Amino acid sequence: MPRLLAARALTRVLDGGQTLEGALAPLLAGSSDARDRALTRRLCHAALRDWPAIDDALEELLRKPLPRRAQPVRFVLVVGLAELRERREPDHAVVHCAVEAVRAGGWGPLAGLTNAVLRNYLRRRQVIESRQIRDPVLAWGYPAWLIERVRSDWPESWQEVLSEGNRPPPLVLRVNRRCWTREEALKALQAVGLAAKAPRVPPDALILERHAQVSSLPGFAAGTLSVQDGAAQLATEALELGDGLRVLDACAAPGGKTAHILERASVDLTALERDPARLERLESNLLRLGLNARCLVADASCPDDWWDGRPFDRILIDAPCSATGVIRRHPDIRWLRKPDDIEALAATQRSLLDALWPLLAPGGMLVYATCSLLREENEHQARSFVERHEQIQVVEQSGWPGRSCDPGHQILPGEAGMDGFFYLSVRRLSG
């Protein structure tokens, strides 16, 4: 039952601090119905996007807090309120499904309470929602610290940035040009009734006009198509690849950019990942695509532990970051990330940049990328790096969506349909 599964997943995220993907994976493993899996995810996303307002409404609607043993019912109510606030289904159907989810979970005695709370919300919805719209946290659905950071960093567009984080993202595909052209892939999708458009950039992207079951896409199982946002695909463009280059992907898992590099050029690629489980996932993705790389469990910031002494022609640092640019895809980020995390992440990013710059061959290119919106991780980090090092030349990106920074290039969520990403491309000069 999707609503019961969604409630259990939300319990693990909001009470247990798990990522949404980590919470959903075991819960959905036994579900063979693609529609149920999709609905479960959608309900979780809706609840996480609107969590402060839903939690606030529950505090008002419940006459007294539920006992600890009844907390699972609270999250069934969270799912029900999220559905009612979305207004995608008839109100009576939402209430009925929530009551049935409570009964299916073994909390039958609380079915009446569930019905009463949701119907009470329907009676008082206008008053509650009118009150909530005056509170930025309740209105936008973000923690106060993050609203303030976005507003400070993007004073002219902060509202659109926050709004975009609450919109469902498009499904973007990457065409494996080793297998076929983008035009051939477009025709194959159209042949099975899936309309798509080919954006100007990046050149391997296709944007589906409606969501579809990924595993059923033509050629997906054979590795001819992959799911990857257009902003992430730009990493390969920034690297200016060519056959025969020696390439390092320093923070490689789950492997989307690794695979794209190998699809675009015949290179000698080393992929690093600190987490053995994440490296295993990377290797699995490469296997599906029929691609090969030297995959190592290693900390990229400690080259003495893994580097063979031969310089790289290209280095990609897809750095650990706040992921504030992909909140529309991962709404749990806004509740799992904490203000103190940013300083720690910036320190990690600085360590990676300084450790890997000496590994770059003269004439080679290093690309630093984050899926962050925050200047501390992006423009400020990039400027500090360039100022600390000699024989370094910033490479400007022309023709990309977004805006040039000093230095680097920032794409905000929704621009050209893309996620929020930052890129810095630098070349090591000879001499």
Q: Report the residue count for the chain.
A: 431
In the residue annotation, 371 being an active-site residue is answered as yes
Question: What per-residue string of b and e applies to 285-315 under the rule 16 or more CB within 10 Å gives b?
Answer: bbeebebebebeebbbbebeeebeeeebbbb
134-143, long-range: CB < 8 A, 24+ apart:
137/52, 138/52, 138/53, 138/56, 139/53, 140/166, 141/49, 141/50, 141/51, 141/52, 141/53, 141/166, 141/334, 142/334, 143/334, 143/335
Closest C-alpha among 155, 204, 171 to residue 373: 155
Considering 251, 302, 371, 405, which one is annotated as catalytic? 371
Decide: 148 and 192 in contact? Cβ < 8 Å: no
Sign for the pseudo-dihedral over CA of 55, 58, 59, 65: negative
Sign for the pseudo-dihedral over CA of 100, 102, 105, 106: negative
Which residue, chain included where needed, has tokens 């899996």?
Answer: 37
Calculated CA dihedral for residues 45, 255, 15, 330, nearest 10 degrees: -20
Closest C-alpha among 97, 72, 104 to residue 83: 97
Alpha-carbon distance of 292 to 14, in angstroms, equals 38
Which residues have a catalytic role annotated? 371
